[in-house]
Amino acid sequence: MRRLCILGSTGSIGTQALEIVRTKKEEFKIIALTANSNVELLIEQAKEFKPSYVVIMDESKKNYLKDKLANLEIEVLTGIEGLEYVSTLKEVDIVLTAVVGMIGLRPTVQAIRSQKRIALANKETMVVAGEIIKKELKEYKAEIIPVDSEHNAIFQALQGNKKDEVARIILTASGGPFRGYKKEDLKDVTPEMAIKHPRWNMGKKISVDSATLMNKALEVIEAHWLFDLDYDKIDVIIHPQSIVHSMVEYIDGSIIAQLGVTDMKLPIKYALEYPKRTDNISDYLDLKAVAKLTFEEADTETFECLKLGYLAGKIGGSMPTVLNAANEEAVKLFLERKISFLEIPKLLQSAIENHKVEHNLTIEKIITIEESTKKYINELIK
Ligand SMILES: NC(=O)C1=CN([C@@H]2O[C@H](COP(=O)(O)OP(=O)(O)OC[C@H]3O[C@@H](n4cnc5c(N)ncnc54)[C@H](OP(=O)(O)O)[C@@H]3O)[C@@H](O)[C@H]2O)C=CC1
Ligand SMILES: CC(=O)[C@@H](O)[C@H](O)COP(=O)(O)O
Ligand SMILES: [Mn+2]
């Protein structure tokens, strides 16, 4: 029996993880569930899965949540301290980090220090604090199994092979809803258009990131830290079908890829069950129906975020934190219709240019840089 804490159980990844648990009751037990403000769904999940703890970030909903769960033995917590607390519980084996944004940083670090397995969906944490996370993993002998579909694919393609025989990894990108568009076509695109991903059904923030190619930029930095590879060994290729989830090229010229249907339950389940494989609960891939797998170069002149990702990653230190924080704020402003789609890369570029890189980061320093970057972005749009 594997005992789970799901950070962000009400989101796209969180609800899919619970679908897995629902069909594999003999294999998993839910210990803790968390949400930001979707209290109704959290109540429903708590009634079904009977965790020992629930966390609602929004303090104002605590009493309502407590009332609704009064006849169940469930402790109700709030805030970032609540997230940290449930990530360290001795009765938890695996923490699935499925919150969106760098709010996942502190609970992830706490989970590592408590030697949990981290099933990592929350890529922003790896982007802003990759170096610290790597050190902590080593010191506390904890492990990360990637959930992000590309990194999960690479993790699988690395199994049984030697790391020093890897020539490069190739991250696939769908190209998002605006693949083929030029800058002129992007001038008036709306949030509704941007969140309509052609292949995956995901939360709003990551969907906008896919549309700008910032998702791939974050994934390049995530891969750098997860697989300990220089940026010149991390390539991106556009693959509109999203069937090849990513590839590893070895020094002998062999490429090992992982393929599958576009269903996040596959990588989530793999990360929760690793190293075991159990029966599929999704569709099987019908290659005859897919018929064609195509690949093309990414258009980084139009979608500049991808270039900014490599730039920030190579500069290192605090620069990926700045890029990520600026992006979180810019995406929020775009979804609120306060800026246009094309302003997103401009704001990120400006945040990078304005920042003096710092090294020897701490968690506190990263959070301070996040706050000052978000403030800077808001001053720019005044
Ligand atoms: N969706 C996908 O297919 C994939 C997602 N990922 C990554 O997984 C993570 C989650 O993505 P996704 O599931 O799409 O996101 P969603 O927006 O669907 O869900 C986010 C979850 O986090 C909670 N949350 C949001 N903000 C906060 C906050 N400030 N404090 C605490 N909890 C918060 C939400 O609660 P509430 O519901 O109450 O708002 C919800 O439970 C992201 O980092 C994303 O990049 C990676 C690969 C694929
Ligand atoms: C499912 C997943 O892992 C997402 O990160 C997905 O890859 C996004 O699609 P893009 O390839 O369009 O960024
Ligand atoms: Mn991905």
In the predicted model, what is the mean pLDDT of residues 118-139? 98
60 annotated among ligand-binding-site residues = no
In the predicted model, what is the mean pLDDT of residues 268-289? 97
Q: Does residue 264 line the site of ligand 1, with CB under 6 A?
A: yes
Contact criterion met (CB below 8 Å) for 20 and 281: yes
Q: Does residue 149 line the site of ligand 2, with CB under 6 A?
A: yes
The two tokens of residue 148 are 């992000």
Domain made up of 152-380: CATH architecture:
Orthogonal Bundle (1.10)
Residue nearest ligand 1's atom 22 by CA: 99
Beta partners for residue 76, in sequence order: 54
161 CA from centroid of ligand 1 (Å): 33
Residues of the chain with CATH 3.40.50.720: 2-146
- At 248, is the secondary structure helix, strand, or coil? strand
Residues 309-326: tens digit of each pLDDT: 999 999 999 999 999 999
In the predicted model, what is the mean pLDDT of residues 249-255? 98
- Nearest ligand to the C-alpha of residue 324? 1
**CATH, domain 2-146, list 3.40.50.720, 3.90.120.10, 1.10.579.10, 3.50.30.30:** 3.40.50.720
Contact criterion met (CB below 8 Å) for 252 and 190: no
pLDDT of residue 296: 98
Per-residue exposure over 294-314, b if at least 16 CB sit within 10 Å of its own CB, e if not: eeeebbbebbbbbbbbbbbbe
End-to-end CA separation in angstroms for the chain: 53
Contact criterion met (CB below 8 Å) for 145 and 227: no
pLDDT of residue 201: 94
275 cis-preceded (ω within 30 degrees of 0): yes
CA distance 180 to 186: 10
Evaluate whether ipTM surpasses 0.90: yes
Number of residues assigned to the chain: 382
pLDDT of residue 319: 98
pLDDT of residue 83: 98
CB atoms within 10 A of CB 261: 15
